[in-house]
Structure 1
Amino acid sequence: MKIKNKILVVEDDDYINKLLCDMLKDSGYITKSAYSGTEALIYLKEDFDMVILDLMLPGISGEKVLEEIRKIKSIPIIIISAKEDKGIKIKTLRMGVDDYITKPFDMEEVSARIDSNLRRYKELSQNNNTNNNVTKYKEITVNEDTREVFVNKIKVELTMREFDILFLLVNNPKKVFSKSNIFESVWNEEFLAYDNTINVHVSNLRNKLLAAGVNKDYIKTVWGIGYKLDS
């Protein structure tokens, strides 16, 4: 039996919300409606396979809802908004939106984009689970082949050394690494005790992961020794 995908529709206009939900139900999806940003965040405690999100919402804005979703979930998000400003589109795409549709919209196009994004997400999940060169630690995904790092589905731009440090830690999550361990593994050079290089790189790595939406700082300082992942 085919499992039905569950979609949260966040739209404050009653007519548009019902229009989208009726279309989704006719296509075999399970839907739930939210009419404000606050209501959406309450409902997101449940499991959904996708969120359709308006930006101009009463109370908490759509942008803030998007930010909060990306802190906890990697599910596809499609914006459907009357905002046509290019800067808004670019901003939301950088925040982790999978697709952006402007109002007024064509129902067949919306349906096709929903199907396409759900299919792509399913394929990505299957590939991540079967690829031996992909390491996952909590909401962090590290791809050794492409040297890419994602927090949920948000790509994190790291320097070569930052990537190598993170790769070392996530592949040895229970091990405590001294600064000399890390330096000699990543730089392949002898570590000098007074060198502050590791501290700077770890600090930058932490900040980038936190900015991308990790739930907390997973890189822990072991005083007098070095660093390890928070298990």
Structure 2
Amino acid sequence: MENCHILVVEDDPDINRLLCTVLGNAGYDCRPAFSGSEAELWATQYNYDLVLLDLMLPGLTGEEFIQKMRRKKTMPILVLSAKAGLEDRVNVLRLGADDFIPKPFDNAEVLARVEAQLRRYKEFSGGGAGQVLTHGALVLDRESVTVTVDGKPASLTAREFEILALLMAHPKKVFTREQLYEQVWGGEFMGDDNTVNVHISNLRSKLNKVSKGDYIKTVWGIGFKMAEENE
């Protein structure tokens, strides 16, 4: 994808070099970082389209990096780590990561996941003027990539923004977990509900933190939809 800048955060020089080479050959502009502290410095000074992140890093852990970035950045964060247990994966998704690839990884899969993340992020954040969705007190602006509740800003990750945009664009429709995954993540649903459930839970929590209320309704046994104002 042309003119996309990726921050590759991996303390192993050989793995970092490999990832930068694979992504560079696909046309991406990559900057390597070898510690969490260095990654925070680069991510604060420059805007990246995506961060590819290891978790076990010197200086600042991957989890701490995600927490710091999610206070001020919306770009996709794709975690690539040997800490691949269910608890580890759920934890980083709750912190604000958008996807998780376990080590050892396949180069083609990493490239495909990166492409999917960037494609979905640009589709949802690159809309033209007038791309504003409203639902009660909720206002989502695709052009500025912002969400407000009762006029107060809600800080969402790129993935949470995409989910909310999809639900708000079809407020009457009930989306199954499979539909949400395939439309937002851009891949085939493999039957793991945890990824969708965690992002929905995070999204609800963040909206509720800004302004108390029920904005997303669970339709038991089916999926999720926007809640009616009187629900």
Q: TM-score, normalised by structure 2?
A: 0.62
The residue identity in structure 1 corresponding to 2:32 is: S
Q: Which ranges in structure 1 are unaligned for 5 or more consecutive residues?
A: 165-185, 188-231
Q: Does 1:62 align with 2:66?
A: no
Deviation at 1:34, TM superposition (A): 0.4
* One-letter amino acid matched to 1:58: P
Aligned-partner SS, 2:51: strand
Equivalent AA in structure 2 for residue 90 of structure 1: V
Structure 1 residue 55: deviation in Å?
0.2
Change in CA separation of 1:19 and 1:97 when aligned onto 2, cut-off 3 Å: same
Q: Is 1:162 paired with 2:168? A: no
Out of 151, 156, 163, the position equivalent to 1:152 is 156
Partner of 1:39: 38
Q: Work out which of the two has the higher radius of gyration on C-alpha atoms and give 1 or 2.
A: 1
Distance 2:125 2:145 in 1: 13
Q: Percent identity?
A: 38
| Cα distance change on mapping 1:83 and 1:104 into 2, 3 Å | same
**How large is the RMSD of aligned CA atoms in angstroms?**
3.0
Structure 2 segments unaligned to the other structure (5+ residues): 161-202, 215-228
Alpha carbons of structure 1 residues 141 and 86: separation in structure 2 relative to 1, 3 Å: same
Instruction: Describe the superposition over 1:153-209 as per-residue Cα deviations: whole angstroms up to 9, x where unpaired.
Output: 2522428x7259xxxxxxxxxxxxxxxxxxxxx99xxxxxxxxxxxxxxxxxxxxxx
Instruction: Report the number of matched residues.
Output: 161
Compare 27-36 and 130-139 and name the one that shifted more: 130-139
- Aligned mates of 1:139, 1:131 — CA distance in 2: 10
Deviation, 1:132, is 2.8
Conserved in 2, the CA contact under 8 Å of 1:139 and 1:152?
A: no
Question: How high is the TM-score relative to the length of structure 1?
Answer: 0.62
Question: 1:114 maps to which residue?
Answer: 114
- Are the counterparts in 2 of residues 52 and 79 from structure 1 also a CA contact under 8 Å? yes
Contact 1:133 1:143 in 2 (8 A): no
Q: Does the aligned pair in 1 maintain the 2:81–2:101 contact within 8 Å? A: yes
Counterpart for residue 4 of structure 1: 3
Residue in structure 1 matched with residue 20 of structure 2 by the alignment: 21
Q: Could you say which residue in structure 2 is the equivalent of 1:176? A: none
Partner of 1:80: 80
